[in-house]
Amino acid sequence: MKKLALLLIMLATGCTDPDGAAKVLSDNGFTKIKTGGYAWLSCGSKDDIYRTEFTATSPNGSLVRGAVCKGIWKGSTIRFE
């Protein structure tokens, strides 16, 4: 039972890419980027392996929340709440 719990924790926390998400957001003009944990419901594709929550300031100055979704064979997608 302990091994199963450990595996579930590792899967949930290991499927975020905070550095990659911050780079994608920065490359698209976002500032004041804060990444969070796993975005459970924000990404629609089953191919999205990394699902990283974020809050940031958009290029026009608005505060935005969302997730950066990324798969192995595809690029990153920024999704907003």
- Give the pTM: 0.79
The whole-number pLDDT of residue 42 equals 84
The whole-number pLDDT of residue 34 equals 98
Residues contacting 53, CB < 8 A, separation 6+: 16, 35, 36, 37, 38, 39, 42, 65, 66, 67
Q: What is the mean pLDDT of the chain?
A: 87
* Containing structural domain, residue 73: 2-80
Number of domains forming the structure of the chain: 1
The whole-number pLDDT of residue 52 equals 95
* pLDDT tens-digit map of 16-38: 999 999 999 999 999 999 999 98
